[in-house]
With several copies, the nearest count.
Chain A
Amino acid sequence: MKIHEYQAKNLFSSYGIPVEKYVLCNVAAEAAKAYDDMAMERVVVKAQVLTGGRGKAGGVKLAKNREDVARHAETILGMAIKEFPVTKVIVSEAVNIGSEYYVSYVIDRNTKSVILMMSAEGGMDIEEVAEKTPEKIFKFPIDPLIGIPDYLARKFAFELFKDAAQVNQMAAILQKLYKLFVDKDASLAEINPLVLTNEGNLIAIDAKMTFDDNALYRQPQIHALFEPTEAEKTEAYAKEKGFSFVHLDGEIGCMVNGAGLAMATMDMIKLYGGTPANFLDIGGSSNPNKVIDAMTLLLKDPKVKVVLINIFGGITRCDDVASGLLTAFEQLKTDMPVVVRLTGTNEKEGREMLKGTHFRVAETMGEAVRMAVTAP
Chain B
Amino acid sequence: MSILINESTRLIVQGITGRDGGFHTQKMKAYGTNVVGGTSPGKGGTEVLGIPVFNTVYEAVEKTQANTSIIFVPARFAADAIKEAADAGIGLIICISEGMPTLDVIDAYRFVQMKGAMLIGPNCPGLMSPGKSLVGILPAQIFKQGNIGVISRSGTLTYEVVYHLTANGMGQSSAIGMGGDPVVGLYFRELLEMLQNDPETEAIVMIGEIGGNAEEQAAEYVKNHVTKPVVGFIAGQAAPPGKQMGHAGAIISGGGGTAAEKIAAMEAAGIKVAKEPSEIPAMLKAAMK
A and B co-occur in one complex: yes
Residues of B at the A interface (CB closer than 8 Å) are 27, 41-44, 55-59, 75-77, 80-81, 83-84, 87, 99-107, 109-111, 114, 137-139, 141-142, 152-160, 163, 180, 182-183, 207, 209-214, 217, 233, 235-240, 243-250, 254-255, 259, 275-278
Interface residue from B104, B160, B243 paired with A261 (Cβ < 8 Å): B160
Question: Complex Cα distance A94/B183, Å?
Answer: 40
> Is A365 a contact of B278 with CB atoms below 8 Å?
yes
Question: Complex Cα distance A261/B163, Å?
Answer: 13
> Is B157 a contact of A264 with CB atoms below 8 Å?
yes
With A112-B106, A279-B246 as known contacts, state yes or no: A343 contacts B163, CB within 8 Å: yes
> Is B101 a contact of A312 with CB atoms below 8 Å?
no
Q: How many A-B residue pairs have CB under 8 A?
A: 202
- Is A262 part of the binding interface, using a Cβ–Cβ cutoff of 8 Å? yes
The 21 listed contacts between A and B (C-beta, < 8 Å) are A109-B214, A110-B217, A112-B110, A127-B254, A146-B111, A151-B81, A158-B44, A158-B55, A214-B99, A246-B239, A246-B244, A257-B156, A260-B153, A260-B209, A260-B246, A261-B235, A263-B154, A263-B236, A276-B238, A279-B245, A314-B142
Which residues on the B side are within 8 Å of A110 (C-beta)? 212-214, 217
Q: In the complex, what's the smallest C-beta–C-beta distance from B234 to chain A, in angstroms? A: 9
Q: In the complex, what's the smallest C-beta–C-beta distance from A259 to chain B, in angstroms? A: 3
Closest 4 CB pairs of A and B: A260-B154, A258-B156, A259-B246, A164-B42
Q: In the complex, what's the smallest C-beta–C-beta distance from B153 to chain A, in angstroms? A: 7
Question: Complex Cα distance A158/B62, Å?
Answer: 15
Q: In the complex, what's the smallest C-beta–C-beta distance from B209 to chain A, in angstroms? A: 6
Q: In the complex, what's the smallest C-beta–C-beta distance from A163 to chain B, in angstroms? A: 7
> Is B154 a contact of A261 with CB atoms below 8 Å?
yes
With A155-B58, A263-B235 as known contacts, state yes or no: A214 contacts B248, CB within 8 Å: yes
Among the stretches A19-27, A57-65, A201-209, A265-273, the one at the interface with B is: A265-273
Which residues on the B side are within 8 Å of A258 (C-beta)? 154-157, 159, 246
Question: Complex Cα distance A23/B87, Å?
Answer: 44
Question: Complex Cα distance A110/B245, Å?
Answer: 20
- Is A16 part of the binding interface, using a Cβ–Cβ cutoff of 8 Å? no
Contact flags A200-236 to B (C-beta < 8 A → 1, else 0): 0000000000001111011000000000000000000
Question: Complex Cα distance A320/B138, Å?
Answer: 17
Question: Complex Cα distance A268/B244, Å?
Answer: 19
Give B247's nearest chain A residue, CB to CB: A259
> Is B80 a contact of A263 with CB atoms below 8 Å?
no
Give A272's nearest chain B residue, CB to CB: B276
Which residues on the B side are within 8 Å of A133 (C-beta)? none
Give B242's nearest chain A residue, CB to CB: A51
Interface residue from A127, A149, A217, A343 paired with B83 (Cβ < 8 Å): A149
- Is A39 part of the binding interface, using a Cβ–Cβ cutoff of 8 Å? no
Interface residue from B80, B210, B245 paired with A244 (Cβ < 8 Å): B245
Question: Complex Cα distance A74/B152, Å?
Answer: 52
Which residues on the A side are within 8 Å of B101 (C-beta)? 185, 212, 214-215, 218
Question: Complex Cα distance A268/B245, Å?
Answer: 15
Contact flags A144-183 to B (C-beta < 8 A → 1, else 0): 1110011110110010001110010000000000000010
> Is A213 a contact of B248 with CB atoms below 8 Å?
yes
Question: Complex Cα distance A262/B210, Å?
Answer: 13
Max chain A Cβ within 10 angstroms of own Cβ: one of B100, B105, B155: B155
- Is A122 part of the binding interface, using a Cβ–Cβ cutoff of 8 Å? no
Give A268's nearest chain B residue, CB to CB: B276
Q: In the complex, what's the smallest C-beta–C-beta distance from A83 to chain B, in angstroms? A: 12
Which residues on the A side are within 8 Å of B104 (C-beta)? 215
Question: Complex Cα distance A18/B154, Å?
Answer: 43
> Is B41 a contact of A215 with CB atoms below 8 Å?
no
Give B158's nearest chain A residue, CB to CB: A260
Interface residue from B142, B180, B278 paired with A260 (Cβ < 8 Å): B180
Q: In the complex, what's the smallest C-beta–C-beta distance from A277 to chain B, in angstroms? A: 11
Interface residue from A145, A214, A259, A268 paired with B250 (Cβ < 8 Å): A259
Which residues on the A side are within 8 Å of B183 (C-beta)? 107, 109, 112
Given A113-B110, A315-B139, 10 more pairs with CB closer than 8 A? A112-B110, A127-B254, A151-B57, A258-B155, A260-B152, A260-B156, A261-B154, A343-B163, A345-B139, A365-B278
Q: In the complex, what's the smallest C-beta–C-beta distance from A371 to chain B, in angstroms? A: 15
Question: Complex Cα distance A217/B110, Å?
Answer: 23
> Is A267 a contact of B238 with CB atoms below 8 Å?
yes
Question: Complex Cα distance A127/B243, Å?
Answer: 18
Which residues on the B side are within 8 Å of A365 (C-beta)? 160, 276-278
Question: Complex Cα distance A271/B273, Å?
Answer: 14
Question: Complex Cα distance A244/B141, Å?
Answer: 27
> Is B56 a contact of A151 with CB atoms below 8 Å?
yes
> Is B139 a contact of A314 with CB atoms below 8 Å?
yes
Q: In the complex, what's the smallest C-beta–C-beta distance from A373 to chain B, in angstroms? A: 13
Which residues on the A side are within 8 Å of B157 (C-beta)? 258, 260-261, 263-264
Q: In the complex, what's the smallest C-beta–C-beta distance from A118 to chain B, in angstroms? A: 15
- Is A319 part of the binding interface, using a Cβ–Cβ cutoff of 8 Å? no
Which residues on the A side are within 8 Å of B100 (C-beta)? 214
